[in-house]
Amino acid sequence: MATQNDRTKFLLGEHDIPKAWYNILADLPGPLPPVLHPVTLKPVGPEDLAPLFPMGLIMQEVSPERYIEIPEPVREMYKLYRPSPLIRARRLEQLLDTPARIYYKYEGVSPAGSHKLNTAIAQAFFNKQEGVKKLATETGAGQWGSALSMAGAFLGIEVEVFMVKVSYQQKPYRRMLMEAYGGTVHPSPSPLTAAGRSILEHDPDSPGSLGIAISEAVEDAATHDDTNYSLGSVLNHVMLHQTVIGLECKAAFRKLGLAPDVLIGCAGGGSNFAGLAFPFVPDKLDGQKMRIIAVEPEACPSLTRGWYDYDHGDVAGMTPKLKMYTLGHTFIPPAIHAGGLRYHGMAPLVSKLVNLGVIEAMALPQTACFEGAMLFAQTEGVICAPESSHAVRAAINIARECKQTGEAKTILFNLSGHGHLDMSAYQAYMGGQLTDVVCELPTRP
């Protein structure tokens, strides 16, 4: 007789879409260090953030409540693609000849292509509620800009995107997708802002970085009354919105009668990783044995090679200071293909849990990740985003270790987005032009 464990694909019903987001602030061992004002260096209050964010999101940023209700109109929009499928990678397991069970949560089914829509819809909703007309944002690879442009179209909000220049050049179809959703896209650094002009003055060929693009978007929002700023990662409220991923996984695993032994997510600013992992953290704190692994690129290793201290979220130093693992806000990461992982810092919540030893971190080089992505495409059929390939490769490495040790571990990773618009990166890998960028990393000032 077939059992739940024989199944390949686990689909929950629309009524299983979580009714509340999970707020890990309620369960964090010890307080999260406060956010500091960039000039006074005093803890910021809600009024300091009000020029950039709606009060609904600011309150979520600091809320001590364990669960925060998801507004019904947001759940309605989630129904377009949630619950996302949980899939067992059986052919990959067979190829690796591993006793491990490998599951992945596939966030690439969202119309915009990645997990980013989970927070884009929520952020656009709370901005709309407070009458905001326009949102300015940054995007690395273009996944976040696409998601926010789509959410803006749904909620009637204009979206202006500063897209990291190297990605703007590498991924023209991402730009077109944002424009098809009605967004306006500028390559960053751009001559439109003082922050962009100052970078261009020193380095007209700057490839850009998420830190620069954030400076431009924040400046745009701060200098226009009708415009708010929207961030696709790093902040507490973004981590919060992404917990629908892990909450759905927990519900599916309960039905399967299983618990994951290893959780894996790629980490740029930390949001897809947090979304998968945070709902499982209380179980680990309660004593359940579980490895929780954030995977970053070797070319931008904030968690494994950075330092845990206060730093700005952007290059120009306009944003408040956050206590996080950072490579320094002036670090411009080399132009690797996983553009969404080219960020100098890491979410304060993820950083705190790494610092406490609840979460571990690993860094992988991009060629190994693309090798894993190719194996995954040829066994599971999914072309994953270059960012997600870091999680794929880490899962493969652990499944191979299981082969050596004979352990039948249950591995769960987040496949944060599809790579259909990243084929130039795959082409570079297949053509042997992709190398592992060796760069000098900054040292702690």
Ligand X SMILES: Cc1ncc(COP(=O)(O)O)c(C=O)c1O
- With CB under 6 A as the contact rule, the residue among 123, 215, 272, 326 that binds ligand X is 272
Q: Which is nearer to ligand X, 152 or 269 (CB)?
A: 269
Examine residue 263 and tell whether it contacts ligand X (CB under 6 A): no
Please, which residue, 189 or 340, has the CB nearer to ligand X?
Answer: 340
Stretches 135-143, 324-332, 363-371, 433-441: which one binds ligand X (CB under 6 A)? Answer: 135-143
Using CB under 6 A as the binding rule, whether residue 84 contacts ligand X is answered as: no
Q: How far is the CB of 226 from ligand X (least distance, A)?
A: 26
Residue 431 exposed, middle or buried by CB count within 10 Å (0-12, 13-18, 19+):
exposed
Tokens for 214?
A: 């954030």
Could you tell me which stretch among 74-82, 185-193, 200-208, 262-270 binds ligand X (CB under 6 A)?
A: 262-270
CB closer to ligand X, 255 vs 305: 305
| Helix axes 366-380 and 389-405, enclosed angle (nearest 10) | 80
102: left (phi over 0), alpha (psi -120 to 50) or beta: beta
Q: How far apart are CA 238 and CA 275, in angstroms?
A: 9
Provide the 8-state DSSP code for 340.
G
292 near ligand X, judged by CB under 6 A: no
Q: Which residue has the tokens 């964010």?
A: 53
Q: Does 416 bind ligand X (CB under 6 A)?
A: yes
Q: How far is the CB of 287 from ligand X (least distance, A)?
A: 28
Here the tokens at position 223 are 């200098």
Residue 114 beta carbon to ligand X: minimum distance, rounded to whole angstroms: 4
Among 110, 135, 329, 362, which Cα is nearest to 232's?
A: 135
Q: Quick check: 233 binds ligand X (CB under 6 A)?
A: yes
301 part of the interface to ligand X, by CB under 6 A: no
Residue of the chain from 83, 140, 208, 297 that contacts ligand X (CB under 6 A) = 140
| DSSP state, residue 356 | T
DSSP label of 35: P
- Amino acid identity of 130? E
Distance between terminal CA atoms of the chain?
Answer: 63
Q: Indicate the residue among 52 and 117 with the shorter CB distance to ligand X.
A: 117
The amino acid at residue 20 is A
Q: Is the Cβ of residue 157 or residue 163 nearer to ligand X in the bound state?
A: 163
70 scored as a contact of ligand X (CB under 6 A): no
Choosing from 369, 385, 396, 402, the residue that interacts with ligand X (CB under 6 A) is: 385
* 387 binding ligand X? (CB under 6 A): yes
* Binding flag, residue 114, ligand X (CB under 6 A): yes
Q: Exactly one of 84, 137, 388, 389 binds ligand X (CB under 6 A); which one?
A: 388
CA 287 – CA 312 distance, rounded (Å)? 35
Single residue of 340, 345, 348, 372 touching ligand X by CB under 6 A: 340
CA 79 centroid distance within chain: 21
User: How many CB atoms are closer than 10 A to CB 214?
Assistant: 29
Determine if 123 is a binding residue for ligand X (CB under 6 A). no
What amino acid occupies position 198?
A: S
Q: Does 124 bind ligand X (CB under 6 A)?
A: no
Cis preceding-peptide flag for 83 (omega within 30 of 0): yes
145 binds ligand X (CB under 6 A): no
- Do 159 and 137 form a contact (C-beta atoms < 8 A)? yes
68 contributes a contact to ligand X by CB under 6 A = no
Rounded to the nearest 5 degrees, what angle is found at the Cα of 249, between the Cα atoms of 292 and 326? 35
Nearer to ligand X, 114 or 230 (CB): 114
- Shorter beta-carbon distance to ligand X: residue 146 or 190: 146
For the bound state, the minimum distance from the C-beta of residue 82 to ligand X, rounded and expressed in Å, comes to 16
Residues sharing a CB contact under 8 Å with residue 250, sequence separation 6 or more, in sequence order: 279, 280
Residue 213 binds ligand X (CB under 6 A): no
Binding residue (CB under 6 A) for ligand X from 267, 276, 293, 382 = 267
- Quick one: which H or E segment has residue 126? helix 117-129
Q: Does 413 bind ligand X (CB under 6 A)?
A: no
Binding residues (CB under 6 A) for ligand X: these are: 114, 140-141, 143-144, 233, 266-273, 340-341, 385, 387-388, 416-417
